[in-house]
A = this chain, B = another copy of it.
């Protein structure tokens, strides 16, 4: 039944013995971790069931921005790089789940925490174009996480990426994150 319009990209992150990315670390930031895996594949399309030998598969789909204003959208689109840059040999997959309290907030309350309180967009912009980023939505798919964020960056930008992740985790918005796993990967 999947017939996504061309502006929506479905994805399945398949952990297992094979896959294009080597998993260098899986760490629980908050809540339960994910089982260890040697490698990870980022496959476009929604797998309807777990592949044999894969300890976990996470699914999501890109969608329209939920908080960005028109001006922020223009700025972001001007500077954000695409995925698959030759020099981007490091990646991070960060699945998060927000609390019921977050989802019970109204749109204006969530936007105020997201940007006016936490500067999520503004902070992210500071690390562009070094760190490419793609957000996948999972909540509507009945997945265990609400969002999967995929980051790609050159090895030399690893520290910049750590700084970005660290700053976001200190924000007001992050107080609503009840589960977060930090998965690091290398293209070798």
Evaluate whether A1 and B59 lie within 8 angstroms (CB atoms) in the complex, with A46-B142, A108-B70, A141-B141 already known. yes
Instruction: List residues 1-18 of chain A with CB under 8 A from any CB of chain B.
Output: 1-5, 7-8, 10
User: Nearest residue in B to A50 (C-beta to C-beta)?
Assistant: B1
Query: Chain A: how many interface residues by the 8 Å CB criterion?
Result: 41
Q: How far is the CB of A55 from chain B (nearest CB, A)?
A: 14
Contact stretch, chosen from A34-42, A79-87, A99-107, A157-165:
A99-107
Contact stretch, chosen from A22-30, A60-68, A125-133, A169-177:
A60-68
- Does A73 count as interface, using CB distance less than 8 angstroms? yes
- Does A52 count as interface, using CB distance less than 8 angstroms? no
User: Nearest residue in B to A63 (C-beta to C-beta)?
Assistant: B140
User: Nearest residue in B to A142 (C-beta to C-beta)?
Assistant: B2
Evaluate whether A1 and B100 lie within 8 angstroms (CB atoms) in the complex, with A67-B107, A106-B65, A106-B69 already known. no
- Does A155 count as interface, using CB distance less than 8 angstroms? no
| A44 neighbours in B (Cβ, 8 Å) | none
User: Nearest residue in B to A10 (C-beta to C-beta)?
Assistant: B142
Are A70's CB and B109's CB within 8 A? yes
Are B3's CB and A144's CB within 8 A? yes
Q: How far is the CB of A15 from chain B (nearest CB, A)?
A: 14
Are B48's CB and A139's CB within 8 A? no
